[in-house]
Amino acid sequence: MSTFQRRDFLTGAAAFAAATTTLGVSGRVAAGDPSFSNNVPDPLLASKDLPTFKFALEKSKGKVIGKSFGKEATVTQLPISKGIAGVSMQIEPGAMRELHWHATAAEWAFVDKGRVRTTVIDPQGYSETNDFEPGDVWYFPRGHGHMLECLGNEPCHFVLIFDNGYFSEFGTFSISDWIGHTPKPLLAKNFGIPESAFDGFPKKEVYFARGSLPPEKPVTPLQGKKEPPKTHKWRLLAQPPIVDNKGGRLYLVDSSNFSISKTITGAILDLEPEALRELHWHPSADEWQYALEGKVSVTLFGSGGRYRTETLEKGDVGYIPQGYGHSLENVGDKSCRILIGFNSGIYETIDLSQWIAGNPTDVLATNFGRPAALFEKFPRKDIFLADKDGK
């Protein structure tokens, strides 16, 4: 995709953001700048040295039941990640992540391996069932009830992103936990059926429920079909990348094309060996990174001369606070792939090459104390992705 096409995408996204802010539905905070939710200074980021922004997610223990597991990265595991939490989850054939909801976070997911079926219900009673393959994503708004089920004979693996760094996957509201701790007379009165109907129900949270393989085609819900006006599914890697050059590719989805995803933007960044996602920052979102393949060096600039570099390998997580300068560079000998999530429904970025190109040469000469002629050699447009030769 050309620079002009990419700019058209970002311009459309910015227009959408302006419209939703005017209407008061951006959803991040109730007052002030809706793109900025960290108005209280963070002591962790105000210290002399920048803290670590890396966590080895896949090396953590997590919760394991049979051959299914959930591993999480919240502020408990990675204190810098106050704005976003993430989970790596595998579900074995015949198992499901039981019916549940999240009281304090929306859920966005990228399917890495295998096939997944989800069913979600919203406050209007609309229910949608979707089947997902590798490269697909889903989004469930905060508080919407849902389940996640492995399809077929192979395990499925997906990465979940939540728009709240304090959210814990192990603090969700599960249906077995609720029903198991509710008196039978109350349940009987609620459903209008005999108390005996609840004999044999689990007494505590199941978390991963295990049974027979699901049917290849979804069964119609008890209420019949009542599908929502907006789908919860997006085929991210089935779409063309918004950036595609010798350095790599960027696949991106936000609310400008996946309209239900109001609070999370997701991306897949592919970098060729020695390629660089140039120095840049995001004005309106924190960034959460998960290394799917390869080895990537991530730099973080925090003002006042503070600078930190971490190397992410497969299964590691990185986190960049809103507005902090950073870059990503493939330091391996093979292509690398990074899953990236932002806690904003609109994608915004300012790249260093773009910033330089947006200023007159006399301004640059004065700023850096160098001859104006030097800056005639600088790029005249946004680089975004640079290959191993810096082009």
Give CA–CA dist 69/170, Å, rounded: 12
Comparing CA positions, the residue from 111, 55, 85 lying closest to residue 170 is 85
Closest CA to 293 of 80, 113, 124, 163: 113
Name the region of 329 (left: φ>0; alpha: ψ -120 to 50; beta: rest): beta
- Number of Cβ within 10 Å of residue 241's Cβ equals 18
List residues with catalytic annotation.
Answer: 97, 100, 102, 107, 146, 169
Chain position carrying tokens 């295990």 = 210
Of 87, 144, 157, the C-alpha closest to 116 is 157
Q: What residue spans of the chain are helical by DSSP H? A: 3-23, 43-46, 175-180, 184-191, 352-357, 361-368
First CA to last CA across the chain, in angstroms? 16
